[in-house]
């Protein structure tokens, strides 16, 4: 049996968001235990020219909601990127998870050849659905989620690979 576009996207996106939520909960608890202002973690970066943790989470969720919507051929919902606290980031993750839970397999399956066009940095990029999922969406989701993990780990939050991967 082959892997469908739905199976390769929506369940994986939801799992990633659940793991991201758990990582953020551990970070918030760590900040409280160490008596560190949580804003320090939310605004932390790995390097001066990189986005802070809050933006990493926003990008992860934007790529996921955009990926699901484009594969399904529906409008991508727009949410302002205004989250500045752990509770606000958690609410965003919850909102995106609820959005994903509304999709049925029939909306995503068969999207392998659907034309997907994006404007990135003022430049238009076109993909087929499968190439978009495998070469753009998934790498971006994993990159920004791992950067979130790395920012927190760098700041002393007790995280391990199991936190990133989640339970099986």
Report if pTM > 0.85: yes
Per-residue confidence band for 120, with pLDDT thresholds at 50, 70 and 90: confident
Domains of the chain (ranges; CATH) run 10-165 (1.20.120.450)
Within the chain, what is the greatest distance between any pair of CA atoms?
52
**What one-character-per-residue DSSP string does 19-85 give?**
HHHHHHHHHHHHHHHTT--HHHHHT--SSTTSPPHHHHHHHHHHHHHHHHHHHHT-PPPP------S
What average pLDDT does the chain have? 96
Per-residue confidence band for 168, with pLDDT thresholds at 50, 70 and 90: confident
User: Cα separations (Å) of 67 from 57, 75, 86, 105, 124?
Assistant: 15, 11, 24, 14, 16
């Amino acid at each position: 049996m082959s892997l469908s576009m739905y199976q390769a996207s929506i369940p994986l996106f939801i799992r990633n968001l659940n793991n991201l939520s758990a990582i953020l909960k551990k970070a918030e608890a760590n900040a409280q235990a160490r008596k560190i202002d949580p804003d320090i973690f939310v605004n932390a970066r790995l390097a001066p020219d990189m986005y802070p943790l809050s933006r990493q989470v926003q990008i992860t969720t934007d790529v996921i909601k955009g990926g699901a919507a484009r594969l399904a051929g529906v409008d991508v919902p727009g949410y302002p990127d205004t989250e500045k606290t752990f509770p606000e980031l958690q609410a965003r993750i919850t909102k995106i998870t609820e959005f994903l839970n509304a999709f049925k397999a029939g909306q995503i399956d068969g999207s392998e050849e659907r034309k997907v066009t994006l404007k990135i940095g003022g430049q238009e990029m076109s993909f087929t659905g499968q190439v978009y999922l495998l070469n753009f969406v998934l790498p971006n989701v994993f990159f920004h989620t791992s950067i979130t993990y790395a920012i927190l780990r760098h700041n002393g939050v007790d995280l391990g690979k199991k936190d990133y991967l989640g339970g099986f």
